[in-house]
Amino acid sequence: MTDTLPDPIAEIYSQNIEPEYRDKKLLTLLLNKYLGKNEQILVQRTEMGNNHAYIGSVTLEWFADRVNFASALPLLHHKYNPKTDNIEIDADSIDEIKQRPLDWSRQAALVQYLAVRENHKFPPVLVVINQPWVDNHKAQEWDKKGQAKKTAAEFTPVDEAGKFGLLNITEKNVTIYALDGQHRLMGVKGLMELLKTGSLQRYRKDKSPYGSSLSIDDLVEQYGVSPAHLQSLPQEKIGIEFISAVAVGETREQARRRVRSIFVHVNLMAVPLSKGQLAQLNEDDGFSIVARKIAVIHPLLEQREDRNHRVNWDSATVATKSTVLTTLQALKEMSERYLGHKYPHWKPLDKGLIPIRPEDEELESGIQHFQDLFDNLAALPSYKLLEYEDTPQLRRFNFEKDGGEGNMLFRPVGQVALAQALGIAIFKKGLSLKQIFKKLNQFDRQGGFSGIEYPQSLWYGVLYDPNKKRIQVAGKDLAVRLLVYILGGVEDSMERAKLRTDLAKARTTENQTIGFDGKFVEPKEVGLPKVL
C-alpha cells in the first residue's frame, strides 16, 4: 500500500513511531503543502445569529497589504474620497452605510504603540471578503431572481463536520475590507510605511499633514527601540475574522443590509471605557498608578468597614447626595497636575501617544511625594470635619435642601485646582511644603475654602457661577493662579495686574461687577486679597 503513496507520506509510514505522533507528522505535512502557497488560510468556521464567519490569523505585513478600508467598498465607490479614505456623506450615501470617519490624528499614536510597547496587542479585526462578480449584476453567479448562487467566501473543509478548513484568499480574485478595526488597520499600515521609508507623516483628523514626521531614528533615540526589533514586527500576527460580502440565496440589497447591520451591532456593543475605568486599568501611565495606590492606602481615602466609601472608582462626577469625597479620575488629575512638574517625562512626548511606564524606583518616589501631599491635606481643618460630618453636608451650597458648607475642597474641581497650584508652588516656585500648609491651615480656619456661593468668597464667580448657581469648572485655571498668588508664588507685577483684571472679569455679569462686600462696584475696584 505504501509503495503507491507520495514519497514524504510513504517515509512517515515506514517509520516505527507511535500512531498519534505519526498522525501529527502527516497533518503537519499536509498543512505545509496547502498553506505554503499564500492562496489559502487555515480557519475555523463559526455560526452566530445565522451569520457564518471564518476565524484565523495573518501577519501584520499581510494585513496592511491585503486589507482595505471599508469606505473603499465598490458599493460606495462613487462617494469614496481617496485622499482621506472616507465616505463623503450626502443624501445618497447616508443610507448606504453608517461608517464612522477615520481619525487620522490617531495614526502616529497607534504606530508608536506598536513599535515601542513591549506588550502591545491589538484585538482581532472583522473583515468582509469580496469577489469581482459581487458587483457585476450580469455575472453568472446571480440567478434570474437576482439571488446569489454561491458565497463570496470560498471555504474548503478538511474535517467531516466542516468546522475547520481552508479559505480562498487568492489576490487575483479576492478583495478584503475592514468592517471593524479600521483604526487598527490604519496603525498597521502606518507602521509598514514607517519601516519601509524610515518616517511617517503626522496628520490631523482629516488627513491634512501637520508638524514633523515620526521617524525610526526618533523611536531608537527616545525609547531605546532596537532596529532588529522593529524589523521583526511585520511578521507578528493579528487575529482576523472573515464574513462573506454575499451569502447563497441573498440579493445584493439583502447582502448590503446584512453587512451594514453587523457593522452597527459590533459598534453598539463596544462601549468605550470611562476615564475612571481607564485610570483603574492603566499600567503604563505613572500618574494613574500613583493615584490608584494613594486611593487604596491613604487613611483619608482608604476603604474601611466603619465608614462610607470615600472614592468613586468609576464615575467622573460626585452626585449631590453621594457620600464619597472624590473620584479616581479626580485623583488621577491631581496626581498629574501635582507631580507633572516633578516628573514631566511621565507625560508622552506628543499628545495622543501612549506614555512609557516609569521605573519602579521613580514610581515609589512619586507615590511618596503624593502621600506627603495627602498627609498634609488630611490635616486641614475642612477634612478634619470628616470625623464628625459626612461629605454631602460639607459639599452642598447653603441654599440647597438641608443646607451645607459650600466647601470647594469637597468638589473634584476644587481638589484638582488645589493640587495643581501646590505642584506649581512646590516644584516650580521652590516653596516649602511645610510652610505652604501652615498658610493653608490658617486660610482654611478663616473659612477660605467654604461658602464659595457668597460674594465674600475669593472663589465667587471663579469656581461658583452666581447666575446658574452651580459649580463652574471653566474657572479652574483662574482658581489655580489665585491659589499660587495667595501662597506667595506670584512676584511679577504685570502678572499680578493681569490676575486682578481676570478676577474682576470673573465677578462681572451683564456689565455689573460684584465686590467682596456684595455691592456693585467698578471693575478696577476689585482688588486681590492679601498674600498669606
Output phi, psi for 62, to 5 deg: -65, -45
pLDDT of residue 91: 40
Q: What is the reported pTM?
A: 0.68
Distant-in-sequence contacts of 358-365, Cβ < 8 A, 24+ apart = 358/286, 358/289, 362/286, 363/286, 363/289, 363/290
Q: Please give the Cα distance from 242 to 126 (Å, whole number).
A: 6
The answer to whether residues 186 and 102 touch, using CB atoms and an 8 Å cutoff, is: yes
Q: For the residues of 407-473, what is the DSSP string, one character each?
A: -GGGSHHHHHHHHHHHHIIIIIS---HHHHHHHHHHHHHTTTTS-TTSTTSTTBTTTEETTTTEE-G
Residue with cell 483603574: 280
CB-count exposure of residue 391 (10 Å: 0-12, 13-18, 19+): buried
Cα 141 to chain centroid, rounded: 44
pLDDT by position in tens, the chain (length 532): 445 545 766 766 667 777 777 777 777 777 776 666 668 888 999 988 778 899 999 999 999 999 998 777 665 554 545 566 554 544 444 344 444 578 888 898 899 889 988 888 899 999 999 999 988 888 999 999 999 999 999 998 888 888 988 899 888 889 999 988 888 999 999 999 999 999 999 998 888 998 888 889 888 888 888 888 999 999 999 999 999 999 999 998 888 878 877 776 776 666 566 667 666 767 778 999 999 999 999 999 998 888 888 998 887 788 878 889 999 999 999 999 999 999 998 987 666 667 778 888 999 999 999 999 999 999 999 999 998 888 888 999 999 888 889 999 999 999 999 999 999 999 999 999 999 999 999 999 999 999 999 999 999 999 999 999 999 999 999 999 999 999 999 988 999 999 999 999 999 988 899 999 989 999 888 989 999 9
pLDDT of residue 86: 55
Q: Please give the Cα distance from 86 to 285 (Å, whole number).
A: 32
Residue with cell 513599535: 115
